[in-house]
Amino acid sequence: MKNLGGFASLNYLFMPGLNDEEEEFHELCKFIEDTKLDLIQLKNLNIDPEYYLNTIHYQPSGRKLGIRNVIKQLQDNFPNLRFGYFNPPVKG
């Protein structure tokens, strides 16, 4: 999309305790660098994270950064990256 001059966004499902692990953060950064994303639409499961992770018997594999810290680091590392919940209007 970016090679054709288009706008690229990602619907990203945030789950505290799951995708705020350090390894996941580094993979997300790599993805943003590779794709030149314009916007990350932050989504959630609307379920208690602790309940969900216990239900699926999740075993953490790395250090937790915390969701707020992940967003802050993304903002610091990618100053042109926007965050939101809806697509921006198309200019015409």
Q: What is the pLDDT of residue 28?
A: 95
Q: What is the pLDDT of residue 42?
A: 87
- What's the predicted TM-score (pTM) here? 0.80
- All structural domains of the chain, each given as residue ranges with its CATH number in brackets, are 2-84 (3.30.750)
Q: What is the pLDDT of residue 36?
A: 93
Q: Which residues contact 44 (CB under 8 A, 6 or more apart)?
A: 13, 14, 15
Report pLDDT digits (tens) over 18-72. Answer: 888 899 999 999 999 999 999 999 888 788 888 988 898 988 777 889 889 999 9
